[in-house]
Amino acid sequence: MAGRQIFESMFLMLLVVFFTTSSHATTTTKEEEQDRITSLPGQPAVSFHQFSGYVTVEKVAGRALFYWLTEATLLPSSKPLVVWLNGGPGCSSVAYGASEEIGPFRINKTSSGLYLNKFSWNTVANLLFLETPAGVGFSYSNRTSDLKDTGDIRTAKDSLKFLVEWMNRFPRYKNREMYLTGESYAGHYVPQLARQILMYNKYSKHPLNLKGIMVGNAVTDTYYDNLGTVTYWWSHAMISDKTYQQLINTCDFGRQKESDECESLYSYAMDQEFGNIDQYNIYAPPCNNSDGSTSSSYTRQSMRLPHRPLKSFRQLYGYDPCTEKYAEIYYNRPDVQKALHANLTKIPYKWTACSEVLNRNWNDTEASILPIYRQMIAGGLRIWVFSGDVDSVVPVTATRYSLAKLKLTTKVAWYPWYVKKQVGGWTEVYEGLTFATVRGAGHEVPLFKPRAALTMFKSFLKGEPLPKS
């Protein structure tokens, strides 16, 4: 009997391997094969398939967006396609989403190789990391002025063009269920791209099978984001009562650019009252410079870069605040770029996790994404919004203020959800939208709480409320 069980187990394993590999062998296109990654430098052996390369989205300007597809570990043909976007604006989905959040690999401290992330989201989905707009990461434009006059509108249109063209290259994904996900300024990118897809689908003979979106610590509404951020600072004792009252009385939180008086108050709060903290997780140690100081490129609402100039290495409770530095070394290696089919045109600047040029020259920003939420709800999309509750850059208070403005009817009242018998956070389900917090997570939720993030992602894909026990 034991021998028969062993035989059956081996037979099932062989079937899994057969169907996993044969689904690729019989359906891949020539273009797709040219983008196949055989192996990355220092990569451990894996069973899943990877592809990366460029899709041209504007031929005249020579704008091309870089992608990295890591397929599901088992039966990828039965799994949905999940597109991940990072924010900034100007930050790389390869540096953050792929390399320190939801991707299958982590970069080691010497940047000499990779190790596996056991909480990778490609255990349940095919992950497509997109570096958008042109000028982010390996994505580029041959018209240099593009880097100084881009914004929300072009980013959404180019990202739609990318998806349409990418589907032609990967036709086996054309009818696959698709979800858009991301964090931070992707709170703009993701809903705006979803709106573009909804409009495209009305007139296309080959609509994209978009089923839903999920965004975390998402920039949503200028007024409520700014009000909620200042409120978070005060409620978490980061600023004094005096500074809080001055900010409330002086600043017009709905303006894209504040008055000089308001800006000076922001500067005073950050320079004199915050202290040496990591604003992306106020309870974690910062990655310090060699002189003992901490640098941060955080300036305010329109300049939110999840990026810190890093030189030394510190670690606590499995969180390493210096992981971004490892990425900047690894992805500038010529052998890594060759393996990724990246930088084929020899871009005249180094690969960076975030582009300061793009960020500081961002042209157009929608004041509020809430009208798009109403469109997505009307369009029947599944919408989840989550928030790491120790992030002071796009804090949970900002997100709650913004979502409250939608005035949605509650379906499932506020309750704690669980991960391995511990409270993972709190959640409430509304008509058309689910909101969830992740307890103890900073700005990059999957980096700080990888198990909880994966649990949440699985519930999102199933369309089920988060576990109550």
Active site residues: 184, 391, 443
Nearest to 229 by CA among 265, 203, 178: 265
Q: Are 380 and 374 within 8 A, CB to CB?
A: no
Helix (H) or strand (E) holding 410: strand 410-419
Nearest to 345 by CA among 64, 105, 15, 12: 64
Could you give the CA distance from residue 175 to residue 173 in angstroms, rounded to a whole number? 6
Q: 329 phi and psi, to 5 degrees?
A: -75, -50
Mode of pairing for the β-strands spanning 50-58 and 63-70? antiparallel
Nearest to 251 by CA among 207, 301, 209, 291: 301
Nearest to 98 by CA among 69, 72, 134: 69
Q: 384 phi and psi, to 5 degrees?
A: -125, 135
Could you give the CA distance from residue 79 to residue 125 in angstroms, rounded to a whole number? 5
Could you give the CA distance from residue 192 to residue 375 in angstroms, rounded to a whole number? 11
Query: Taking the C-alpha atoms of 227, 228, 233 and 234 in order, what is their torsion angle to the nearest 10 degrees?
Result: 70
The three-point CA angle 437-230-270 to 5° equals 110
Could you give the CA distance from residue 225 to residue 396 in angstroms, rounded to a whole number? 9
Q: 312 phi and psi, to 5 degrees?
A: -120, 170
Nearest to 383 by CA among 369, 398, 395, 367: 369
Q: Is 405 exposed, middle or buried (0-12, 13-18, 19+ CB in 10 A)?
A: middle
The radius of gyration of the chain's CA atoms, rounded to the nearest angstrom, is: 22
Torsion 300-304-310-314 (CA) sign = positive
Q: In this structure, which amino acid lies at residue 289?
A: N
